Amino acid sequence: MVDINELNQRIQTESSFIDVLFMEMGKVIVGQKAMVERLLIGLLSNGHLLLEGVPGLAKTLAIKTLASAIEAKFSRIQFTPDLLPADLIGTMIYNQKKEEFTVRKGPIFANFILADEINRAPSKVQSALLEAMQERQITIGDNTYKLDEPFLVLATQNPLEQEGTYPLPEAQVDRFMLKIMINYPNRKDELDIMKQNIAVDFPTAKPVVKTEDILRARNIVKDIYMDEKIEQYILDIVFATREPKEFKLEKLEQMISYGASPRASIYLALASKAYAFIKRRGYVIPEDVRAICHDVLRHRMGLTYEAEAENITTEDIINEILNTIEVP
């Protein structure tokens, strides 16, 4: 049996750095609390993140600020149509003095990788990134190199401009733990952003957390208690995307071309635990699952032509599933 009180006290102690991290990021990032929370969920769950939003919503700034607040190595890679895999992972360079080839490592060898406008690079570059994301390793020539932990790919894409972009392969999109949709700030927040940007000094984040703290927290997140009823609830949600008829959602059958993969179940469970950790709790409640569900599922379902013709989005489908399936 799990001692919930003891686990709660342990989580209270071990999650104290979360408040410090929030405060430090809050110096630079105005509003966007949900985005900052999701960045921390990815960090605590060892999952890569895809951020989508129109230009100017501080996607890049948020990722840079998170990297600055943690004592970690940060690389920014601007994805362009002429980018080559070697620009990302590195290559073999011939050394004339030694008369041999030596490895020159690329920018992927860092803790935080900002893949800016990821959908602008061709499939060769995406496949090179895929090995790093899934295997946490890079192959250059005959040698394979392990990447340092924590290793996190934080990718951004712009939904407006489609000219000169390459749709990401489904296999790669599925490897992103969360797809975070970023909206415009409200009027009050935008006023603060405007004042911040016209001031003499723009605030910057200082390192307040060590990478060891993050790695230790990841192990503790896995210890957070999840009841069997919550596990079944997660499976019900995921299976409803594959077999809507079984869950009295017959009208969704014509809307979904393919359902969420098993990664959806894994990531929904992990993200729910990380969300509970951020809320300083030693156990998962159904609200944790519901809070993070859209971010885990929105990029893991395919829509049929009928759904697109009726302007039905994955958000609508997830809402319908959450409103229908019984909460434990």
Q: Is the pLDDT of residue 132 over 80?
A: yes
**Residue 41: what pLDDT?**
92
State how beta strands 70-71 and 302-303 pair: unpaired
**Residue 2: what pLDDT?**
66
Task: Quote the CA–CA distance of 137 and 146 in Å, as a whole number.
Answer: 4
Q: Please tell me the pTM assigned to this model.
A: 0.86
Asked if residue 262 and residue 210 are part of one domain, the reply reads no
Least confident interval from 31-35, 251-255, 264-268: 31-35
Q: Is the pLDDT of residue 33 over 90?
A: no
pLDDT, one tens digit per residue, over 37-61 is 898 899 899 889 998 887 777 777 8
- CATH number reported for the structural domain that contains residue 259 in this entry: 1.10.8.80
26 contacts 65 by C-beta, under 8 angstroms:
no
Structural domain total, the chain? 2
- 3 in a domain, yes or no? no
- 183 in a domain, yes or no? yes
Asked if residue 264 and residue 175 are part of one domain, the reply reads no
Asked if residue 55 and residue 191 are part of one domain, the reply reads yes
Residue keyed to tokens 């939003």: 53
Q: Is the pLDDT of residue 302 over 90?
A: no
**Residue 131: what pLDDT?**
82
Task: Quote the CA–CA distance of 48 and 42 in Å, as a whole number.
Answer: 6
Task: Quote the CA–CA distance of 224 and 272 in Å, as a whole number.
Answer: 10
Asked if residue 164 and residue 42 are part of one domain, the reply reads yes
State how beta strands 48-52 and 152-157 pair: parallel
Alpha helices in 59-107 (DSSP H): 59-69, 85-89
- 17 in a domain, yes or no? no
**Residue 164: what pLDDT?**
59
Asked if residue 212 and residue 91 are part of one domain, the reply reads yes
State how beta strands 256-258 and 302-303 pair: antiparallel
Among 216, 246, 271, identify where a domain stops: 216
Asked if residue 246 and residue 190 are part of one domain, the reply reads no
Average pLDDT over residues 66-92: 86
Asked if residue 211 and residue 231 are part of one domain, the reply reads no
Average pLDDT over residues 256-283: 91
Q: Is the pLDDT of residue 158 over 90?
A: no
- 297 in a domain, yes or no? yes
* Domain hosting residue 231, numbered range: 224-324
Q: Is the pLDDT of residue 325 over 80?
A: yes
